[in-house]
């Protein structure tokens, strides 16, 4: 009988916790290509309603007791965060329809640079020279990434994804500054946020001129579109959320963040290998700079 020492067992347990988190980064990286494959400009709102309405009942049932325990202030705070979250998903989805999945995954990674910069501005503290250098490298990478076909104005999709990265930064800052939500149960907080976002999407879907209704979009779906929607709903939402909750209790938040930070790598891999996207020499150089800058920025911020 082989006896495994505690010193060897601990790293093994850590790696067992790392693998599901890495799987989340992979599916999130693939989410841009999946969203691009099932969404057109006139179905963005409809797809968002379907995506989150499918998983919201599961979250409500799983956390019903803790949802009922939320205070009025916590509900209000979570609802505000949900409105911002809804804006993030709208910007991301409209953006990915009009740019490549590779560009979307890499540009959205600028959140890792924008968030520490915003936090430093709020605290009135100067970022370190190393972090500013990392930010400059990342921004230069995005400029090159969006110029794969020669130096032209960035596409509307690129700009929308950039706005989504800024909105993600706002979401993080609000989570840290709305005191009512800081002690709230994470499952309940996420459920209320998604519920608020779905309400926004449902209201928009009822406004004339915002595209197909969810029912019309669903009626036009084939097997491939339903598979893509299931991937976004089950894997990129339910699976991702529960893995994060499970992992932070078995490893460190910083380790989880580091693994999830590989998302742009998987987005680029999916876009190129599966989506047949081509970056060109400038685009490849830009992608390398974005990845290097965000990695450097994470280390400098830590």
pLDDT at 75 > cutoff 90:
yes
* DSSP sequence for 35-96: HHHH--GGGHHHHHHHHHHHHHHHHHHHTHHHHHT--HHHHHHHHHHHHHHHHHHHHHHHHH
- Which 8-state DSSP code applies to residue 148? T
Give residue-wise pLDDT tens across range 232-241: 999 998 898 8
Give the pLDDT band of residue 245 (cuts 50, 70, 90): confident
- Of residues 127 and 149, more confidence is placed in 127
> 2-12, pLDDT tens digit by residue?
444 444 445 55
- Classify residue 151 by its DSSP letter: S
Give the pLDDT confidence of 33-74 residue by residue, as tens digits.
999 999 999 999 999 999 999 999 999 998 899 899 999 999
Nearest to 277 by CA among 36, 95, 90: 36
Residue 28 pLDDT greater than 80, yes or no: yes
Contacts of 75 (CB under 8 A, 6+ apart): 192
Say what the pTM is: 0.84
Between the ranges 138-142, 158-162, 268-272, where is the mean pLDDT highest? Answer: 158-162
CB contact set of 166 (below 8 Å; sequence gap of 6+): 114
């Amino acid at each position: 009988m082989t006896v495994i020492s505690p010193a060897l067992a601990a790293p093994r347990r850590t790696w067992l916790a790392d693998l599901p988190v890495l799987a989340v980064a992979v599916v999130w990286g693939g989410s841009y290509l999946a969203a691009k494959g099932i969404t057109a400009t006139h179905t963005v709102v409809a797809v968002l309603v379907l995506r989150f309405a499918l998983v919201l009942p599961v979250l409500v049932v799983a956390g019903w007791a803790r949802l009922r325990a939320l205070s009025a202030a916590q509900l209000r705070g979570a609802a505000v965060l949900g409105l911002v979250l809804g804006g993030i998903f709208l910007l991301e989805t409209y953006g990915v329809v009009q740019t490549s999945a590779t560009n979307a995954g890499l540009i959205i990674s600028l959140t890792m640079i924008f968030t520490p910069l915003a936090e430093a501005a709020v605290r009135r503290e100067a970022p370190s020279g190393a972090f500013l250098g990392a930010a400059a490298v990342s921004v230069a990478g995005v400029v090159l990434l969006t110029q794969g076909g020669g130096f032209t104005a960035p596409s509307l999709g690129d700009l929308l994804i950039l706005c989504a990265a800024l909105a993600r930064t706002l979401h993080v800052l609000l989570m840290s500054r709305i005191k009512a939500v800081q002690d709230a149960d994470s499952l309940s907080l996420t459920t209320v946020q998604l519920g608020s976002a779905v309400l926004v999407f449902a209201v928009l879907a009822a406004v004339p001129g915002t595209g197909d209704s969810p029912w019309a979009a669903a009626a036009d779906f084939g097997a491939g579109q339903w598979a893509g929607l299931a991937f976004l709903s089950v894997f990129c939402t339910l699976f991702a959320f529960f893995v994060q909750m499970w992992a932070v209790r078995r490893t460190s938040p910083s380790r989880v963040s580091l693994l999830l930070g590989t998302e742009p790598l998987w987005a680029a891999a999916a876009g190129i290998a599966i989506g047949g996207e081509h970056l060109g020499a400038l685009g490849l150089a830009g992608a390398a700079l974005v990845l290097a800058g965000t990695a450097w920025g994470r280390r400098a911020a830590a």
